[in-house]
Structure 1
Amino acid sequence: MSATPGPDPRRARVRRLAGVALTLVLAGLGIAVFVTAVTPRGSSTVIAPDDGATGVPTAAVIYVHILGQVARPGLYELPDGARAVDAVAAAGGFTEQADAAGLNLARFVSDGEQIVVPAIGEATTAAPGIAGDGRVNLNTADAAALDTLPGVGPATAAKILAWREEHGRFESVEDLLDVGGIGEAKLDAIRDLVTV
C-alpha cells in the first residue's frame, strides 16, 4: 500500500507569500481611501502673480473672510468659482457648536465676501445673497433678496435667476443688461446696491 504524498512545501510557501502581498495591497488601498476622505477640500493656496515673464496666465483667485463657528476663522484665498463648502473646508470645518444648516454650502462665494457661520440657536447676520456691506450679491441672492431692489419685482427677480441658471455667474454688474426687462435706466437705479 503506497502512502499518499503530503502537501508540497513550495506551493504552501508561495500561497503564504501571495496572501501577505494581497493583504499589503488591500491595506495600502484602505489607507489611501481614508486619507482622501479626511483631506479637506478647497484648501487655500498661494498663487504667485504672473509677471509676464512666463507668458502663462495665473488662475483667478478670490479672497473670502470666514468667521464664527469654524475651526480656523480667517481670510482665505480660494479659486474663483469656489462655493461656501470650500471656504468652510479651508477654515478647518465646522465646530461642534456650528449650525451647519444656517449656511447654504452649495452657493458660490464672491471676492471680498464675509461668511459668518452661526452657532446653533444663533440668528444669522444677513439674509441669503446679502453681502457684508449690505449690497445684494447677484451670484448668491435668492428671489426675495433680489425683490428688495428698486424696480425689481418678482418677475424681474425670476428673470435674473433664470439668466444665472443658464449662463452661470455674473462677471460684472453690467451683465444685468443681458437680462430681459433690465435696461440702462433700471441698471443705473440699482448699480450701487448690487455686487458680484
Structure 2
Amino acid sequence: MKRAAIDEFFRRLSERDPEPKTELEYSNPYTLLVAVVLSAQATDVGVNKATRALFEKADNPTAMVALGEAVVRDHIKTIGLYKTKAANVIRLSEILLDRHAGAVPRQREALEELPGVGRKTANVVLNVAFGEPTIAVDTHIFRVSNRTGLAPGKDVEAVEQGLLKRVPRAWRLHAHHWLILHGRYVCKARKPDCPACIVRDLCDFTGKVLE
C-alpha cells in the first residue's frame, strides 16, 4: 500500500471514530495494566466480566496484595490461564510497591520487567495510559496489516516496525485502536465483511467479496 493510500486509510477510519478507546474497562493506569495482563488469550468481554468485582475491591497494588492470590484467582477463574495470571497480578503489584512507589512506570523497560508483561502489553499501557504513539500488534492488527498490504510482516515485531515506519505521525496515536476495532468488527479472520468496509478500495486483499 502506497503512502497516499495509507494516509487516506487512516483518515477514513478517523472520520468514522475520531477518538477510539480500548474496550477493556479500567479506572487508572494500574487497573489498565492488570486488565491487559489478564486479556492475553482472552476476550475483552470476558476480562471485563471478571474484573468488575475485582476492581471494586482492589484498584491499586496495595489493595490487590492485601486481597491475596487465592481471592484474585477466584475472581478471574472464568479467564484462561487464571492461576498463572493471578500469580502474576500479585507479583507485579508487589514489584510496583517495592520499586515504583506503587505507581505504574512510564518506561518500556520497567514495564517489561513486570510478570506477565511483554512488549504488546507494555505498548498498550504506554499508549492508553500515557498517550505514547505506540502500536501494540495483536492478532487483529497482524491480520489487517498483512491482509490489506498496510504493513506486511512475518511476525508481530516485523509488523510493528513496519507500522511505525509507514503510519503517518498524525495518525499514530490512535492507529492501534483503529486497527484493532477494524479487525474485530469488519476485517474479521474467517469472513471479512468487505461490503461494509470503508477502506476496501485501498486494500490489497485479493479475496475480497463485495456482495
> TM-score, with normalisation over the residues of structure 1?
0.26
Q: Which has the higher contact order (CA 8 A, sep 6+)?
A: 2
- Which is higher, the Rg of structure 1 or of structure 2? 1
Is the strand fraction higher in 1 or 2? 1
> TM-score, with normalisation over the residues of structure 2?
0.25
